[in-house]
Structure 1
Amino acid sequence: MTEEIKLNSSKLGTKEYWDNFYKKEQQNFKNNNDDTGECWFDDSDAESKIIQFLINELIPYFIENSTISFLDLGTGNGHLLFQLSEDLQEVIELEGAFHENEFVFHGIDYSSDSVLFAQDIASKKYSNNNFKFDQVDLLSSNSEFLNNNKFDIILDKGTLDAIALNQDIITEDGKRGMDIYATQVKKMMKFDSILLITSCNFTEKELIKVITSQTNLEVYDKINYPSFQFGGVKGSTVVSIAFCRAES
């Protein structure tokens, strides 16, 4: 258990906050179909870097698979999946790459309002694409979804961050959400699956510890962001690390 890594609790770690947030987002979209909501970490251009990393580094790793499946944890408005699909289609049309592969895009969120919002956007703006969204509690010990689904590439853009902002004990043996996150996600990983996590709350060292201390997941690669130096310590505001399930 990662007791030495602890974030302060925040309303951003509560389901009530996100339910209310996505209720408002749904209403905004109904009033204006061009308003599809927030793009998280937009100020660091993280989503663009994530997608380029996927296209250039991770998807080629699975090129021999006829179908390549993505799971977006805490999908929110589904923006990452929608943009990934658009950019992949552009690469296919312009370069001919990946034209023999089928891509499956699946998003889950514990907020039913998030799921309804993403489904609404998909049906109105991306009706020809293969998107699916489900309400799933990632931290549930008896989740049928976690036990019955496997994916090639699992994406997390800020979901572990939100989980870590709730420091409540959720298991009988005294663990918090962030302590069981990695073992829960691993249930949905095949041999050689990749988990790509983007965080603004953890340092690179902390994120690696959270993921690897309770699993046999290994660091596969990382995305480089512009760095800064303060007090003799070098770092960046956003961290993205890919972990591989290298063993059964």
Structure 2
Amino acid sequence: MEDTTKLNTSKLGTKEYWDDFYSLEKQNFEENPEDTGECWFADNDAEEKMVEFLLDNLGEYNIKEDSSMIDLGTGNGHLLFTLLEEGFKGEMIGVDYSEKSVEFAAEILKTKYSQNDNVTFATADIFNEQWAPGKFDVVLDKGTLDAIALSGIKFENNETVVDVYPKVIEKILGENSILLITSCNFTEEELIKIIETETLKKWKSVNYPIFEFGGVKGTTICSVAFLKSSAK
């Protein structure tokens, strides 16, 4: 049976593409401070649904108003800024391998949220074994696995970024903590296949509108929460 978690390579998986993309977005912002850039999956209200999910599950496991959070592939930082505006007040870190992305997000932070020191941004290669940002209560991924899966990068033993991804999550996720991931390239079943380990299991998923085509029902996007707990 064909492995549907293996995707073809694309320029969307390259650092050069995102450096160019965020250089332009930063330039647009400097010309018009109201233009904070594109919000990924806006057509599906994915960002709102991710924030709503965290609000609805406050008090569950390590989801709290002061939870420490890291946003993988933060882009323009929009998700973290929205969480900030919704009252989350813990340490929030946005990381991205595109320096231009981090520069852009940091400029938005300085311009629009200058009195806040809860949010920081940093350039990082999350697949570098030396990368050790610590443990977090909530790890966020809005389309980042989608993009990096298109890179074609291979590691030792011919492992892809998709193969290595759950190891990265386990390294930075604290006990009883949550990964909340949104994808348009992978179905919920594929995400479960990719991410689940002995200690990382599906907890809950977010509901999106269902469409039906040719007698097959599905959605164009999915958001799934995984819980890290001790191996049994």
Q: Same fold (TM over 0.5)?
A: yes
Distance 1:121 1:235 in 2: 36
C-alpha distance in structure 1 between counterparts of 2:20 and 2:212, whole Å: 37
Residues 202 and 225, structure 2, Cα contact 8 Å, conserved in 1: yes
- Deviation string 1:157-200 (CA, Å, 9 cap, x unpaired) is 0000001112232x121011111011112100111010000000
CA drift at 1:43: 0.5
Which secondary structure state, in structure 2, belongs to the residue aligned with residue 220 of structure 1?
strand
Query: How many aligned residue pairs are there?
Result: 229
Rate the CA distance shift 1:122–1:173 in 2: closer, same or farther, 3 A: same
Q: Distance in 2 between matches of 1:223 and 1:37?
A: 25
What's the secondary structure of 1:37's corresponding residue? coil
Tell me whether 1:85 sits opposite 2:70 in the alignment.
no
Check 1:63–1:215 CA distance in 2 against 1; reply closer, same or farther (3 A cut).
Answer: closer
The Cα shift of 1:235 comes to 1.0
TM-align CA RMSD: 1.9
Quote the offset at 1:46 in angstroms: 0.8
Identity across the alignment (%): 50
Moved over 4 A (4+): 62-66
The 1:165–1:33 alpha-carbon spacing in structure 2 relative to 1, beyond 3 Å, is same
Q: Give distance in 1, aligned partners of 2:135 and 2:176.
A: 11
Unaligned ranges ≥5, structure 1: 90-101
Q: Which runs of 5+ in 2 are unaligned?
A: none
Question: By how many angstroms is 1:4 displaced?
Answer: 5.2
Counterpart in the other structure of 1:93? none
TM-score with structure 2 length normalisation? 0.93
Residue 95 (structure 1) aligns with: none
Aligned-partner residue type, residue 151 of structure 1: F
User: Which secondary structure does the structure 1 equivalent of 2:70 belong to?
Assistant: strand
Letter in 2 for 1:243: F
- The corresponding residue for 2:206 is 223
Tell me which amino acid in the other structure corresponds to 2:10: S
SS of residue matched to 2:91: strand
Q: What is the DSSP-based 3-state SS (H/G/I as helix, E as strand, rest coil) of the residue aligned with 1:134?
A: strand
- What per-residue deviation string (whole Å, max 9, x for no partner) do you get for residues 14-61 of structure 1? 00100111111111111111110010000011111111111111x322
Report what 1:141 is aligned to.
Answer: 129
Structure with more helix by fraction: 1
2:71 and 2:80 in contact (8 A); partners too: yes
Letter aligned with residue 226 of structure 2: F
Relative to structure 1, the CA distance from residue 24 to residue 160 in structure 2 (aligned partners, 3 Å threshold; closer, same or farther) is: same
In the alignment, which of 226, 229, 232 is matched to residue 246 of structure 1? 229
